[in-house]
Structures are given as structure tokens and as C-alpha cells.
Amino acid sequence: MSLNKLEKLLKSLDLQELKEAKILVNNYYKKIKKAKSSNQLIDTYTNKYGVYFRLEKVFCNKSNCQKCNEKNKEGHGPYWYSYKNGKREYIGKKSKVELNKINKNSRFIVKNKDTHLPYRR
């Protein structure tokens, strides 16, 4: 369906029908987003300090990118990311053995262990 047809259809709806359409679109969007994020996730684990590590594929969505084009959707990576208190930090393209070494003397862990501030929203 083209955007013009969709716009005409939306203009023909009353307020209650628009609210219902909005709910349907939001639910569909969440479903698609969840499916896409589950395709990106490869491996996860958490250390004893509460730092959460994820091995993820990344999509740049540039038009000329060979790895992110519409045909194969292979993506870049996988890359390790750490998550702590709602913040994401790039670690790199490391093996699990290398990540365990980082885990033992990581600056994230030392910082969070020594000067931990409670997470506030």
C-alpha cells in the first residue's frame, strides 16, 4: 500500500478508529522490533558485579553496505557490549576467553565495584 492510499484511509477514520489503528500499529511495531533484536543477539552472560555482556550483530543500514543490504542482512560483527545501569559500552570483537580476562580486571568492573552509585530513573 502506498503512503498516499494510507493517508487517505487514515483521514477517513473517526477518532475511535484512529485510536484502535494506533494500538494495532504499535503492537505490530513492537513485534517486528523484538524479532529483529532477537536476530541480533548471539550470546550473553552476567558477571558477579552485575555487568551484563552481550554478543550482538550490528546493522549500519547504509545503502551501499554489502553486509546490511536487503538481500542477505548478515550484519557486522558479532561484537561484545557491556550493559550496566542502563548504559551500553562497546568492548569489541573478542573471544569468550579474552572477555574472561577483561572480566577479571576491567575498568567497568573496578569502577562499579568501588564507586557504585544507585541507578535512578
- Contact status, residue 10 vs residue 21, Cβ threshold 8 Å: yes
- CA atoms in the 13 A half-sphere facing the CB of 89: 12
Measured from the Cβ of residue 44, the count of other Cβ atoms closer than 10 Å reads 12
What per-residue confidence (pLDDT) applies to 90?
A: 86
- Contact status, residue 78 vs residue 62, Cβ threshold 8 Å: no
Statement: residue 40 has pLDDT above 80 = no
What per-residue confidence (pLDDT) applies to 42?
A: 59
**All 3 cell numbers of residue 20?**
484502535
> How many angstroms separate the CA atoms of 54 and 45, rounded?
7
Partnered with residue 53 across adjacent β-strands are 45, 82
53 burial class (0-12, 13-18, 19+ CB within 10 angstroms)?
buried
What per-residue confidence (pLDDT) applies to 47?
A: 66
Residues 96-107, mean pLDDT to the nearest whole number: 61
**All 3 cell numbers of residue 28?**
505490530
Check residues 78 and 108 and name the one with the higher pLDDT.
78
What per-residue confidence (pLDDT) applies to 16?
A: 92
